[in-house]
Amino acid sequence: MSGHPGARRSITPSQLHELAKRGDSVEVIDVRTPAEFRSVHIPLAQSQPLDSLDPRAIMAARPNQAEPLYVICRSGSRSAKACSAFEAAGFGDRVVNVEGGTLAWEQAGLPVERGRSVMPLDRQVRTAIGVLVLLGVLLGALVNPWFYGLSAFCGAGLVYAGLTDCCPLAWTMAKMPWNRAGNHAPTCSVN
C-alpha cells in the first residue's frame, strides 16, 4: 500500500490479490453501476453504487470495522470519489483505493467474474453525444439551420460536464433499464 500522512491510501490490484490469497481479511466494494458490475467484476467485490453510497451505514454494517475497506470502480475515478466521501464522513484512515480499478485488475491477468455484457456508461454517453451532434449538423444542413442548435446544446453540455464533473446525460443514461438493477438512483460520474 502506498501513501503518507494526509494522502489517500491506495493499493495495486496485484497487491490486493496477494492479500486475499494469503487469507487476509479483504472486503471490497465496487462503486460502478449495477449493470457494469454484472458485466464484469472482481470475485472479492460487492456492488455498492457510488450514487447510493452511505459511508456511515457501510462502515456500521461491517463485521470488522478496524480492517481496511477496499474501493474499486472501472478505472479509479469513481473509487477516488467514494474514498473522498468516506474521508468526509471521518473514515479516511480505513478506506483504500484500488489503483486503476477493474481495468487494471484485468490487465494484470487476475480473475474476474463475467455476466451479461453492457457497454460501459462513459462509452454510452460518448456514443449518444456523437449521434446528437451528427444529427444536429445533418438536420441543420438539410432541413433547417435551427437544428444546428442541437449540436451547440451538446457542446454546452460537454463544457458543463467538464467544468462540474457532473454529466446530466450520464445521469439520464444510468436510469435506462439496461443500466439499472434494484432501486439505485443514477450517478453523475462516468469513469
| Cα dist from 75 to 22, 84, 148, whole Å | 25, 16, 34
Tens-place pLDDT, residues 125-182: 999 999 999 999 999 999 999 999 999 999 999 999 889 888 888 888 877 887 776 4
Q: Is 83 known to be catalytic?
A: no
Query: Which CATH architecture describes the domain 10-114?
Result: 3-Layer(aba) Sandwich (3.40)
CA distance 49 to 187: 8
Q: Which of 73, 83, 154, 167 is catalytic?
A: 73
8 A C-beta contact, residue 77 and residue 189: yes
8 A C-beta contact, residue 184 and residue 155: no
Whole-model pTM over 0.85 = no
The position carrying cell 487469507 is 23
Tens-place pLDDT, residues 85-132: 999 999 989 999 999 999 999 999 999 999 877 777 788 899 999 999
Q: In the chain, where are the structural domains located? A: 10-114, 121-179
Cell numbers placing 127: 456514443
SS3 143: coil
